[in-house]
Structure 1
Amino acid sequence: MSQLKRKRPDSNSVADSLTEHERVVYDAIRSKQEMGISQRDLKREINLLDKLASKSLKSLQDKNLVRLVPNFQSKGMKHYIAAEFNPSTEITGGAWYTDGSLDSDFIGVLKATCLKFVPNLKVATLEGFVEAVKKSRVSQVELSKKQIEELVESLVCDNELMKVKSTGIGEFASIPVGKVCYKRIDKGNRVSGTMASIPCGVCPQISICTPDGIVSPKTCVYYNTWLDF
C-alpha cells in the first residue's frame, strides 16, 4: 500500500519557492518519507547553523510543505514529516495512541465492547471479537485482527477472560476441536494464574468431582483435552 495520501507538490514549483537553505532542510525531511525525522537528527544531518535550520523549518511549515507530528516514543522532541506523507505507526503508536499519548478511554470502550460480546455466546473466538468490534462501530479506524487480539489478551491479563481450548462438546460444539477461544470469568468466583485456564474452574460438575468418583479427573474429557493443550 502506498504511503502517500496527499497530493505531491509539483517539484518545479516547490524548487522555485525555496531558498537554498530551505531546499536542504526540505530534501532531508522528504527523504525520510513516512518515518519523518526529529529536529535533533535533522540538524545533525544537514549541518546548518541552528538559527538557519530553525528559520527554514518555520518557513517550510508556513508554506505547508512540512508539518510537526507527535512521536509517542519521544514526546518532548519535535518530529517533522513532509506534508505529502502520512506518519508511520512506528511514530504515532497506531490506533491506541492519539496525539502521541495512549488513548485509555478508547481502549476502555473497546474492552467493554469485547466483554459485552462474551455473555451472549458464553464462549467466543478471536474472529468473533473482531466481528463484534467491527459491528459496534466504536472505532473510526479499522482495527486489525492482531490489534483485537492484543485487546483480548489484555483482558486475560486483567482476569476478565480466560483462554481455553475447544473440546468440540457442549458449549464448544460450534467451535473446531483444539481451537483457542475465550470465556468470561465470573466476578463472584474469580480464578487467577494457571488455574484460570483449567476447565475445572467453570465445570458445573465440580461439586461432585472426586478422584475415584463417577465424575473424576481420570474420566473427564475436558480435563484430558486441556492436558493435551
Structure 2
Amino acid sequence: MGSVSKNVSNKRKHSDAKSPVHNLSEPERKLYDLIRSMEDKGMWTLDMKRQTLLPETQFKKHIKSLQTKNLIKEIVHINNKRKKYFMATDFEPSVELTGGAWYVDGELDKPFINVLRELCKRIVYSQKVVSIESISKSIREKGCLNVECSIQQIDQIMQSLVLDNVLMEVTSTGMGEFEAFRVGTMCYRKAEAPKVWAMASIPCGVCPRINECTPDGIISPATCIYFTKWLDF
C-alpha cells in the first residue's frame, strides 16, 4: 500500500515538473503572477510595465513566451479596443470586458440582434400573446438560430421592442386569451396603434387663431385653405 502511495506521489511530482508554470524564468514568473492576480478582469500592458519595470524589449519577449506556453491570452476590451489587455488562460473574460452575449470580438453583433428582434416580433404577431418562457420555447422548437439564446437575451430583446412601441406588456388574468399563462405572468402582445384625438386631426384643433375664426369673419372656415384641404382629403 505504501508503495502504491509513493508511486502516485512520484507521478504527481513528475506531472507538476512538466507544467510550464514551473519552468518560468524569474521575470516571466513575476509577470505571469501579476496577470493572473487580475483573474477575469485582465490587465493592460502599460500597467504591467509600470509594476514590473521591465525594459520594453524584455517585456515583449516575456509576454510572447507566456503566450507561446499557453499561460496567457490577449483579450479585447470593448471600452478600450486600442489598448492591449492580457489574461491568464485559466479565466474567461468578465462581462465588463466583453460586453456580454451581444458582443463578438469586442464588436456589437448587430446582425444577430436584428434577426432575433424580427423573429420575436413574428412569433408574437402569430401567437397573439406570449410570455418570455413561451417565446423562448418557440425559438428553440423552430430551430431558426444557429446559436443558443438565453432567457435573459430574449427578455432584453422583448424590452427593446416594447420601448420601440412594437410590442406592449400585458399582465395575464388567467382567463380568455391568457388561459395558457398563470395569473400575474408578464406577457407581450402587438402594440396597439395610438388613438388620435378627433380634433387633433382637424386643422382647427391646432390653429393658433381658432378664437378669431367665425363664420362671417375675416378668418372663417369658408375661406380657410387648410380646412378646405382637410375636407377634400
What TM-score does the superposition give when structure 2 sets the normalisation length?
Answer: 0.68
Q: CA RMSD in A?
A: 2.6
Instruction: Kindly state the Cα deviation for residue 117 of structure 1 after the two structures are TM-superposed.
Output: 1.1
Distance 1:161 1:132 in 2: 17
User: Given that residues 161 and 185 in structure 1 are in contact (C-alpha distance below 8 angstroms), is that contact kept between their aligned partners in structure 2?
Assistant: yes
Distance 2:166 2:74 in 1: 39
| Residue number in structure 2 paired with 1:195 | none
How far does the alpha carbon of each residue in 1:49-72 deviate from its partner, in whole angstroms, 9 at most, with x for none?
333222211222233221111111
* 1:101 partner amino acid: E
Residues 167 and 66 of structure 1: is their aligned pair in 2 closer, same or farther, counting only changes over 3 Å?
Answer: same
* 1:166 partner amino acid: S
* 1:109 partner amino acid: V
Task: Say which SS state the counterpart of residue 162 (structure 1) adopts.
Answer: strand
Distance 2:31 2:120 in 1: 46
| Residue number in structure 2 paired with 1:135 | 141
Instruction: Kindly state the Cα deviation for residue 13 of structure 1 after the two structures are TM-superposed.
Output: 3.2
* 1:35 partner amino acid: K
Task: Say which SS state the counterpart of residue 143 (structure 1) adopts.
Answer: coil
Aligned positions of 1:1-229 closer than 5 A: 10=16, 13-185=19-191, 189=193
Task: Say which SS state the counterpart of residue 141 (structure 2) adopts.
Answer: helix
Instruction: Kindly state the Cα deviation for residue 34 of structure 1 after the two structures are TM-superposed.
Output: 2.6
User: Given that residues 95 and 143 in structure 1 are in contact (C-alpha distance below 8 angstroms), is that contact kept between their aligned partners in structure 2?
Assistant: no
Instruction: Kindly state the Cα deviation for residue 92 of structure 1 after the two structures are TM-superposed.
Output: 1.4
Instruction: Kindly state the Cα deviation for residue 16 of structure 1 after the two structures are TM-superposed.
Output: 4.9
* 1:90 partner amino acid: E
How far does the alpha carbon of each residue in 1:153-182 deviate from its partner, in whole angstroms, 9 at most, with x for none?
011112111111223332223223332211
User: Given that residues 123 and 181 in structure 1 are in contact (C-alpha distance below 8 angstroms), is that contact kept between their aligned partners in structure 2?
Assistant: yes
Consecutive unaligned residues of structure 2, counting only runs of 5 or more, are: 1-14, 197-233
Consecutive unaligned residues of structure 1, counting only runs of 5 or more, are: 1-8, 193-229
Task: Say which SS state the counterpart of residue 32 (structure 2) adopts.
Answer: helix
Distance 1:94 1:63 in 2: 28
Give the number of aligned pairs: 182
Residues 133 and 50 of structure 1: is their aligned pair in 2 closer, same or farther, counting only changes over 3 Å?
Answer: farther
Residues 83 and 138 of structure 1: is their aligned pair in 2 closer, same or farther, counting only changes over 3 Å?
Answer: farther
Task: Say which SS state the counterpart of residue 168 (structure 2) adopts.
Answer: strand
Task: State which structure, 1 or 2, has the greater radius of gyration over its C-alpha atoms.
Answer: 2
Distance 2:195 2:40 in 1: 45
Residues 18 and 41 of structure 1: is their aligned pair in 2 closer, same or farther, counting only changes over 3 Å?
Answer: same
How far does the alpha carbon of each residue in 1:13-67 deviate from its partner, in whole angstroms, 9 at most, with x for none?
3245422211211121122233222222322333333332222112222332211
Distance 1:191 1:21 in 2: 71
Between 144-153 and 169-178, report the one with greater CA deviation.
Answer: 169-178
Distance 1:54 1:153 in 2: 46
Question: Percent identity among equivalent residues?
Answer: 40
Greater relative contact order (CA < 8 Å, ≥ 6 in sequence): 1
